[in-house]
Every structure is written in C-alpha cells, then in structure tokens.
Amino acid sequence: MRLINRRPSREAALLLAVVPFVLLLLLYLWASAARLADNPADKLLPWPSAIIEQVRVLALEPDRRTGDVLLWSDTAASLARLALGLALATVVAALVGIAIGLVPLVGALLSYFVAALAMIPPLAILPILLILLGTGEASKVGLVALGTAPVMIRDLALRVRALPEELIIKAQTLGASSWQLALRIVWPMAAPRLVDALRLQLGPAWLFLIAAEAIAATEGLGYRIFLVRRYLAMDIILPYVAWITLLAFASDRLLALLSRRLFPWAQPRA
Amino acid sequence: MSRIEVQGLWKSYGDRVVLERVSLVIEPGSLVAIVGASGCGKSTFLRILLGSERPSRGRVLLDGAPLPAEPGPDRGIVFQRYTVFPHLSVLDNVVLGLEFGKSRLLGRLFGARRQQAREKAAAILARVGLGHVLDAWPHQLSGGMQQRLALAQALIVEPRILLLDEPFGALDPGIRAEARALLLELWAEREMTVVMVTHDLAEAFQLGTRVLVFDKVRRDPQVPERYGATVTYDLPGYNRFRPRLERPLPHASLPATGGF
C-alpha cells in the first residue's frame, strides 16, 4: 500500500503524537545526566527532581521578601495584563474592522492607515509606551493591545468584505438601515471570525507581554524568567516556560470551545 | 402593485456594453419572465430594478417616480444562492423583516410586539410549507426549503415588486415544480408585480403572464463587447391567471418592442 494511504488507528495516532515529546524528554535527560556526571553542581540542565522541588517551592511556599506565592502571583499578574490588552484589542477590532469592511467611506479613510499601523514592529514602540505611559500596568497592557489590534482589525475588515453581497442586499430589501445591518447581520456573521483572529493573536500577545515584563515590571511570568536569568536558574526558567505554553494552549482550546457554543450555526454540517 | 417604466436604458462597464436601448413598461400585477443566454444582461437588468446597479444612461420609473438608487423594502429579492441568513433560525429569518421596520435603534423587538411578529412570521412560514421547522438552522434545510424560506422572508415586508434571480435554478426537477407552483399561488394571492430571471424557456412561459427575451441585435465578431443586449421578443406567457387586474393588459396585443 502507498505511504499516503496508510492511516493510523486512533490508538496509534495518539501514540505517534506522544513520540516527539518523549524523544525531547529523553534527549534532555541524557544531556542533563552527562553534564551532572561531569559536574554535580551544574545549573544549566538540572535533573527533574531538582526542578520539581523548585516548582514545589514556587507554587506552595510564600516568598520570604513579599509574602506572595510567586508562581500564582506571577500568573495572576500576567494573565490580567494579557486579558485586558486582548479585550481592548478585540473591542477595537470589532468596531473598526466592521466599520472599515462595511462602510466604503470609512474604508477609504482608515484601511491604509491601519495597514500602515500593522507594519510598525510593536516592540519598536515599547520605549515610546514606557516614556508616555510610565512603567506601570498601562504600558504593558498597551503593548499587547497595540501589537494585536491592527492585525485583528484587518482580518475582520477582510472578512466583512468577503460576506456574500447577496446577503447585504437582501437585508436592505427587508428595510435595514446601515446601523441595523451592522448590528443584526454583519456583526453576528463576523463574530466567529473575530474569535478565530483572537486565537491566532494569542501567540503574539504572549510575546509582547513577556517582552514588556522583561523590561519593566515587578511581577509577572516574563519578569520572573528574566530576573532569575542572572543566576542561571534553569530550574525556574524551564518550568515557567512550560507553564506559559500550557496557559497559551489552554486559552486557545477554551476559545475554540466558546466559539462552538456561541455560534452553533457556523459549524460545518455534522 | 407597481408600474415599472424603463426608458432608453443603457448599461456599460467601461467599454463593455451589457444592455442597450431597453425601453418597456411592466404593468402592475403582471408576472414577467426574462429569458436569454448566459451573459446577456438579464441579471444586470434585474439588479438595476433592484437598485444595486445604476443605469449608465436612461431611467427607470416606479409608479411615475424615479427608482431609488439603492435597494429598499418596496422591492423584494430572492437570489439563487446566499438567500437566507445562516446565523438566524428559520423563524428569526422571517421575523427580521418586521423588526427592521419597527425598531430603528436595535433592529430587534421584545415582549408582546416580538410575540406578535413571531406569530405573523410563523403564519407565512406555514403558508410556504415550513411550519414544522421554525427552530431549525438554515443549513439544516434542503435547497428547496431554503428557497421557500427566502420567499417567505421577502414577502413578510409586503413588497410592491418581487424580483427573482434564477430562484429555482439550483433545485432538483421535482422540487423545482413544487416551488414554481408555490410561486404562482403566492403571486395570485398578493397584490404584487413579479419580475423573474430564468434561463429555462419552458419555465418562463409556464409562469409568466409575459415573457421578455434579451439578446443582442447587433454583433461585431471582432469586438463582441461593443454592443449590448436588448429586448428582442416580447411575448405573452401561458399564465392567463390575472386575478387582480381591473383592466386587460395592453402589452399582450402589442408587437415586440426594442428589436429591429
């Protein structure tokens, strides 16, 4: 049988999916063991037991200086910034994206402007944000929002323009005003795409958040990683990176689930 | 019911002439079927009546007044595809037409007024044979049911003119016959003028009180886009059922207009 026609069973597919993760783990264990054999005090590739002990301290014991349990206070701070920044970007994208896509006059006014904004590397404006908004929460939330909003606006505007013209005309023959058309037809039909755009922006949002926290913060997952980097504390950095990955993955799945619940009509025929 | 008067209509896109010298009068209450080859401009003509395209030259009068330059609730439309809103249930697709007119700000009715609108919508859905699927999503309906939903949706706002762009073109033959019969009944029940574009000649004569054939009368083999189509035949259809007309239609006895 040809290779392209050989399909794994459910169990085999699951097994295959696990293989790369296991390989990576084995590679790490081998490298860690080799380094520890040379130098038992090596800090670069700590043995899993050392990492687990460190995670236990981070997740369960209050910090001696602040009294916070670091993992949870860092997570809460980062998630709050991320959620606020993404919420801002989503609201702006919904309003501006629909206006650009639906109203030709607004499109003529703003579509090139937003396209130009989207080309600015967000990290290049981080210094500007730090100068203008200070080193508090506003600059970090602002970077997440500014970094993700232009792409979401453009995505939604394209989506609105791609709606079948027949439906827009049909709504007008039913007596819809421009406003009613936006509210009852275009917004609900574009909403699933907005959730998809949000999911795709989760990765960039984490990037901007960690960059902002690395430069100016007093707590947060990105702040912690860059703080302990000075002590080569790989036993903290590695679990933090894994934790961030898990959070990002979980929020993506959560949004996908939300989309299926909210927009049953947009799902492919069962 | 409305009288449509088309005077010296031309439509061109750049150098490409689609329609030329179209002049005709559509009497109130008639069911006009427009036939012609693909690309002959019959759908363009329909979109001009709809208001989503504007004539390059000439004008269209609706009961003596110039046609509004955008689609409106006086002219309903049923397209061949993308006819209903996928994000609304069958019932809400029809209720929508009542909500737009009665709730300017939200486009949505609540409480007793919503209940009233739902009952009115349910009645018309029952009339087109969709009374049993009010809560279904449009994608759960067959093609024929979707077109019947589109008809109900267009009729709830009581348009004076109903425009149909190959409404049954994508349906299976048996379903198509049912849909045609339904259209005839609805037309007979209501005071409305119907203009239907089709590429099916038999359908045009079966349904129409009048059949217009669009074709080019001038051709340039080197530059086919030089000349547009016009009405080459203007014939009475087999549909003799004119329930609400006070006087006989004059066009039936007139010779074809617009041709050479």
CB atoms within 10 A of CB A147: 26
Assigned domain for A132 exists: yes
Residue A246 lies in a domain: yes
Give me the phi and psi of A190, to 5 degrees please: -90, -15
Averaged pLDDT score across all residues of chain A: 92
Location of structure tokens 């069911």? B31
Q: How many CB pairs under 8 A join A and B?
A: 82
DSSP code per residue over A38-99: H-TT--SS--HHHHHHHHHHHHHSB-TTT-SBHHHHHHHHHHHHHHHHHHHHHHHHHHHHHH
Closest residue by Cα to residue B167 from A170, A8, A176 = A170
**Domains of chain B: residue spans and CATH:** 4-74+159-253 (3.40.50.300), 86-143+152-157 (no CATH)
Query: Does A16 reside within a domain?
Result: no
Cβ(B61)–Cβ(B79) below 8 Å: no
Which segments of chain A are extended strands (E)? Answer: none
When pLDDT is cut at 50, 70 and 90, the band that residue B1 belongs to is low
- Is the CB of B208 inside 8 Å of chain A's CB atoms? no
pLDDT at B250 over 80: no
- Domain assignment present for residue A133? The answer is yes
Domain presence at residue A225: yes
Structural contact between residues B185 and B214, judged by C-beta atoms closer than 8 angstroms: no
The answer for residues whose C-beta is within 8 angstroms of residue A267's C-beta and 6 or more apart is A260
Of the candidates A166, A176, A263, which has its C-beta nearest B100's C-beta? Answer: A176
Task: Kindly list the residues from chain B whose CB atom is less than 8 angstroms away from the CB atom of residue A184.
Answer: 96, 99-100, 107-108
Any idea what DSSP says for residue A264?
A: G
In chain A, the residue whose alpha carbon lies closest to the alpha carbon of B137 is A265
Q: Do A173 and B85 touch (CB under 8 A)?
A: no
Q: What is the pLDDT of residue B256?
A: 42
Give B72 to chain A, closest Cα distance, Å: 4
Task: Taking residues A154-160, report their average pLDDT.
Answer: 94
Determine the Cα angle at B159 with ends B8 and A187, to 5°: 105
pLDDT (tens digit per residue) in B91-128: 999 999 999 988 888 888 888 889 999 999 999 999 88
ipTM: 0.86
Residue B224's pLDDT band (cuts 50, 70, 90): confident
pLDDT over 70 (residue A181): yes
B-chain residue closest to A263, CA distance: B87
What is the dihedral sign for C-alpha B214, B220, B223, B227?
negative
Closest CA to B158 of B112, B113, B193: B193
Provide the domain count of chain A.
1
CB–CB of B134/B125 below 8 Å?
A: yes
> Is B142 an 8 Å CB contact of chain A?
no
b/e for B64-82, b at 16 or more Cβ within 10 A? eeebeeebbbbbbbbbbeb
What are the pLDDT digits (tens) for A92-104? Answer: 999 999 999 999 9
Q: Is the pLDDT of residue A220 over 80?
A: yes
Q: B87 at the A interface (CB within 8 A)?
A: yes
Token couple for A139: 């600059």
Residue B246 confidence class, pLDDT cut points 50, 70, 90: very low
Per the model's pLDDT, the better-predicted residue between A66 and A7 turns out to be: A7
Given B75, B138, B139, which is nearest A173 (Cβ)? B75
Which residues in chain A touch residue B138, judged by CB atoms under 8 angstroms apart?
Answer: 265
Tokens found for residue B71:
């689609």
- CA distance, residue B170 to nearest chain A CA (Å): 16
d(CA A181, CA B72): 13
> Looking at CA atoms only, how far is residue A262 from chain B in angstroms?
11
Contacts of B140 in chain A (CB under 8 A): 269
Kindly determine whether residue B79 and residue A166, on different chains, have CB atoms separated by under 8 Å.
Answer: yes
pLDDT of residue B248: 46
Residue A260 lies in a domain: no
Half-sphere exposure of B194 (CA within 13 A, CB side): 31
CATH code assigned at A123: 1.10.3720.10
Tell me the backbone φ, ψ of residue B14, rounded to 5 degrees: 60, -125
Interface residue B70 vs chain A (CB under 8 A) = yes
Q: Is residue A214 part of a domain?
A: yes
Q: Which of A174, A179, A269 sits opposite B157 (nearest CB)?
A: A174
Q: Is residue B41 predicted with pLDDT exceeding 90? A: no
Q: What is the mean pLDDT of residues B41-50?
A: 91
- Identify the CA nearest to A183 among candidates A171, A173, A194: A171
**B212 φ, ψ (degrees, to nearest 5):** -105, 130
The pLDDT score that the predictor gives to residue B171 is: 84
* Average pLDDT of the segment spanning B213-241: 82
pLDDT tens-place string over residues B175-214 = 888 888 888 888 888 878 999 999 888 889 888 989 999 8
Could you tell me what percent of chain B has a pLDDT over 70?
Answer: 92
Per the CB < 8 Å rule, is B107 touching A183?
Answer: yes
CB within 8 Å: A265 and B159: no
A171: which chain B residues are within 8 Å (Cβ-Cβ)?
85, 96, 100
Domain that holds residue A163: 68-255
| pLDDT of res. B251 | 46
Q: Which of B100, B106, B137 lies nearest to residue A174, judging by beta carbons?
A: B100
CB contact under 8 A, A188 and B157: no
User: In this structure, is residue A21 part of a structural domain?
Assistant: no
- In the predicted model, what is the mean pLDDT of residues A154-181? 94
Beta carbons within 8 Å of A45's beta carbon, 6+ residues apart = A28, A31, A32, A35, A36, A234
Mean pLDDT (chain B) is 85
Tens digit of each residue's pLDDT (9 = 90 or more) over A4-40 = 999 999 999 999 999 999 999 999 999 999 999 999 8
Query: Is the pTM higher than 0.90?
Result: no
Q: Give the Å distances, CA to CA, from A172 to A181, B74, B125, B138, B163.
A: 8, 10, 21, 20, 14
Compute the distance between CA of residue A259 and CA of residue A193 in angstroms, rounded to an integer.
9
**Residues in A touching B153 (Cβ below 8 Å):** 170, 174
Phi, psi of B78, deg, nearest 5: -125, 115
Residue-wise pLDDT for B24-36, tens only, equals: 999 888 999 999 8
- Of B79, B81, B86, Cβ closest to residue A265: B86
**What mean pLDDT is predicted for residues B215-238?**
83
Assess whether pLDDT exceeds 80 at residue B240. Answer: no
Q: Give me the half-sphere count of Cα atoms (radius 13 Å) on the Cβ side of residue B79.
A: 17
CB of B23 within 8 A of CB of B29? no
